[in-house]
Amino acid sequence: MPYLTRPVLAAGTLSRAPQPTLRTGDGLLLRPWRTEDAPAVHAAFQDPVMHQWHVRAADSEEEVRGWITEWQQAWERERGVQWAVADTADDRLLGRVALREVVLGDGVAEVAYWTTAGARGRGVAARATRALAYWALDEIGFQRLELLHAVVNAASCRVAQKTGFALEGTKRSALLHPDGWHDMHLHARVRGDWDGPCGSGPAEPAA
């Protein structure tokens, strides 16, 4: 039985070219992960704040190297895209931004991010998320990006608001954290949305 609509994005849209490196234009670099990032990622996951909002712990650098291998392979599989967020001045790791649950045919994906303890309060997550959204929606042609966070995670809600992700509703008891089930805010941004006066324009391809 034929479909009455065409896929929003065809298979191979991502994997036919190398994963790009993006500059935000304000001091951040979104680049593919490297094995040598393992110590910094392991250190980041020792932070109690990471334990509060994530369901995964890092017991060793060797374990993290396995994660990084998975992140590096995600691009080819076209089910997710993972970037390290680094300082353009010294390549110091500041966080991670990603597309998860990618469905090319529907043109949808979920945005995820975290920042290291030392990078918080500098707008790193918002700046990286904004660059990712421009790339995904305006350059690649995704139709819809979703962003979910625990209702009580006010900092993550501010990131969504700053980057043009409209609040669409609450998913009740949707995710189990170490302290129990959490209601989740569902935010989304669709192609053609404008993110308001905080918008900084599209991300710049790295030289």
pLDDT in tens, 118-177: 999 999 999 999 999 999 999 999 999 999 999 999 999 999 999 999 999 999 999 998
Kindly report the number of other CB atoms within 10 A of residue 31's CB atom.
19
d(CA 49, CA 173): 20
Those residues whose C-beta lies under 8 Å from the C-beta of residue 113, and which sit 6 or more positions away, are 85, 95, 96, 97, 98, 125, 128, 129, 159
pLDDT tens readout for residues 84-99: 999 999 999 999 999 9
Angle at 83 between CA 14 and CA 148, to 5 degrees: 90
Residue 190 has pLDDT above 90, yes or no: yes
206 vs 136, more confident: 136
d(CA 162, CA 8): 27
Residue 25 has pLDDT above 80, yes or no: yes
Closest alpha carbon to 113 in 127, 161, 28, 35:
127
Amino acid identity, position 54? H
Residues 23-37 have a mean pLDDT of 96
28 vs 52, more confident: 28
- Chain centre to alpha carbon of residue 7: 23
d(CA 189, CA 166): 6
Please report, in angstroms and rounded to a whole number, the separation of the first and last CA atoms in the chain. 46
Closest alpha carbon to 190 in 77, 96, 111:
111
Q: pLDDT at position 53, please? A: 80
Alpha-helical segments (H) within 27-177: 38-44, 48-53, 61-77, 124-134, 154-162
The average confidence (pLDDT) of the chain is: 91
